[in-house]
A and B are shown apart, each in its own frame.
Chain A
Amino acid sequence: MGFDKFGRKSFTSFTKTGKFVDLLAEGKVEGTVCKQCGAKYFPPRADCAACLSKEMDWFELPKKGTLETFTTAMYAPFGFEADAPYTMAVVDFGAGVKAFARLAKDFSDPKIGMDVTVRPLKYDDGQVSFEIAKA
Chain B
Amino acid sequence: MAKDVAVIGVGQTYFVRGYEGSIRELAFEAFREAMQDANLTAKDVDASVFCSAPEYDKQRSPAGVLAEYLGLVPQPTFYVETVCSSSTVGVKLGYSMIKAGLHDIVVVLGFQKMSEITSAESQERMGRGGDIQWEAPFGTMMPAYYALYAQAYLAKNGLTLDDLRDVRVKAATYGQINERAVYRKGVKPEDFDPGNPDAKMAGPVASPLRVGDCCANADGASCIILANAEKARAFSKKPVWILGIGAASEVVNMASRPDFSKGIQVAKAAANQAYKMAGVGPKDINVAEVHDCFTIAEIMAYEGLGFAPEGDGKQLIREKATYKEGKIPVNVDGGLLSKGHPIGATGGSQIRTIVLQLRDEAGPMQVKDPQIGLNHNIGGVGLYGNVTIFGRD
Contact = CB atoms under 8 A, between A and B. Distances in A.
A and B from one assembly?
yes
Given A7-B137, A43-B133, A69-B260, 16 more contacts: A8-B139, A9-B136, A15-B133, A43-B253, A69-B149, A70-B148, A71-B150, A71-B206, A73-B206, A74-B206, A75-B206, A80-B124, A80-B139, A88-B148, A90-B260, A101-B138
A88 B128 contact: no
A98 B124 contact: no
A88 B149 CA distance: 12
A88 to B, nearest CB: 6
A42 B135 CA distance: 12
Interface in B269-300: none
Contacts of A69: 148-149, 151-152, 260-261
B249 interface: no
A86 B128 CA distance: 18
Interface residues of B, number: 41
A72 interface: yes
B125 to A, nearest CB: 8
Interface of B: 118, 120-121, 123-124, 127-128, 131-141, 143-144, 147-152, 155, 203-209, 253-257, 260-261
A71 B255 contact: no
Interface in A3-19: 3, 6-12, 15
A81 B127 CA distance: 14
A22 interface: no
A9 B124 CA distance: 12
Contacts, number: 116
Contact of A112 (B118, B135, B139, B152): B152
B207 A78 contact: no
Contacts of A112: 151-152, 155
A100 B132 contact: no
Interface in A71-100: 71-81, 83-84, 86, 88-90, 98-100
Given A69-B148, A75-B205, A10 B137 contact: yes
B123 A100 contact: no
Sorting the interface of chain A by its residue count into under 10, 10 to 19, 20 to 34 or 35 or more gives 35 or more
Contact of B147 (A8, A11, A71, A80): A71
Max chain A C-beta neighbours (<10 A), residue from B118, B133, B149, B155:
B133
A78 B152 contact: no
> A-B pairs with the 3 shortest C-beta distances?
A7-B137, A71-B147, A80-B139
A3 to B, nearest CB: 8
A83 B139 contact: yes
A68 interface: yes
A24 to B, nearest CB: 12
A77 B123 contact: yes
Contacts of B205: 73-75
A52 B219 CA distance: 43
Contacts of A90: 148, 254-255, 257, 260
Contacts of A3: 133
